[in-house]
């Protein structure tokens, strides 16, 4: 399957600072990217969906000014957690979907980024 | 809105034995996709198996197979000849057709494999 990378894999930051997480599709063009948040022993919660060149669509309850998503190219999306606080500590997973010419369009997941806010 | 329910928070199976993980879902759509994903301790999401709703035949991938009951909105995963490497969280997921569709995940089932 196709590969999605995330950087960094682990980040620790001080409260009040901003953190940027990168998500790249390495061998395909990702027309749509998804950002998830996962708390320990819980399921994945979709935060937002982004299409290349368009503004992200945020899920209900997700603060768009706090979680800035940019999908500037077909291979890169970024999630910036602004003014991070300890409650933002979580595991963030990106996922990318390209166009395979059919109706299915498989979705591939990155390895995740662990964010710890002190 | 679609919902996915996994009623088994934890399951245990002995090595080489067979285990079935349950999943039910709710939708008003007639065509959609269903998935089982595996999340090992590394937390990398791995697609185990996929089922298209319009296909009556149950999907199989080596030791993994599903029992898809469309009328009952049930989608269980059977793991045969369980191996230690099968130990992980398993998430059932639903997705509508269409390029803009989103995955809806269940709450997950933690599978333990014992010797």
Spatial separation of the C-alpha atoms in residues B91 and B43, rounded to whole Å: 12
Token pair for residue A2? 């196709």
Q: Where does residue B16 rank: exposed (0-12), middle (13-18), buried (19+ CB within 10 A)?
A: exposed
Q: Are B45 and A31 an interchain contact pair (Cβ–Cβ within 8 Å)?
A: no
pLDDT in tens, chain B (115 residues): 789 999 999 999 999 999 999 999 999 999 999 999 999 999 999 999 999 999 989 999 999 999 999 999 999 999 999 999 999 999 999 999 876 789 999 999 999 999 9
Could you tell me if B74 and B34 are in contact, meaning their C-beta atoms sit under 8 angstroms apart?
Answer: no
If one counts every other C-beta atom within 10 angstroms of the C-beta of residue A32, the result is: 22
Q: Specify the higher pLDDT residue, A11 or B56.
A: A11
Q: Does B56 touch chain A (CB under 8 A)?
A: no
> Residue A98's pLDDT is what?
81
> Residue A100's pLDDT is what?
65
Spatial separation of the C-alpha atoms in residues B4 and A115, rounded to whole Å: 27
> Residue A103's pLDDT is what?
56
Token pair for residue A44? 């994945």
Closest approach of B91 to chain A, Cα-based (Å): 8
């Amino acid at each position: 399957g196709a590969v999605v990378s995330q950087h960094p894999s682990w980040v620790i930051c001080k409260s009040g600072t901003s953190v940027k997480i990168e998500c790249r599709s390495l061998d395909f063009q990702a027309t749509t990217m998804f950002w998830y948040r996962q708390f320990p022993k819980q399921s994945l919660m979709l935060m937002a969906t982004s299409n290349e060149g368009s503004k992200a669509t945020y899920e209900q309850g997700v603060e768009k000014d706090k979680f800035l998503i940019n999908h500037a190219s077909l291979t890169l999306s970024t999630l910036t957690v602004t003014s991070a606080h300890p409650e933002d500590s979580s595991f963030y997973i990106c996922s990318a979907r390209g166009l395979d010419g059919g109706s299915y369009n498989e979705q591939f997941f990155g390895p995740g980024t662990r964010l710890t806010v002190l | 809105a679609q919902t996915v329910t996994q009623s088994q928070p934890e399951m245990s199976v002995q090595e080489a034995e067979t285990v079935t993980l349950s999943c039910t879902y709710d939708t008003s759509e007639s065509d959609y996709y269903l998935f089982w994903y595996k999340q090992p301790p590394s937390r990398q999401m791995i697609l185990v198996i996929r089922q298209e709703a319009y296909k009556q035949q149950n999907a199989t991938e080596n030791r993994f197979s599903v029992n898809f009951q469309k009328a009952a909105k049930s989608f269980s995963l059977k793991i045969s000849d369980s191996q230690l490497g099968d130990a992980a969280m398993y998430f059932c997921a639903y997705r509508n057709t269409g390029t803009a569709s989103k995955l809806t995940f269940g709450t997950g089932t933690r599978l333990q494999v014992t010797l």
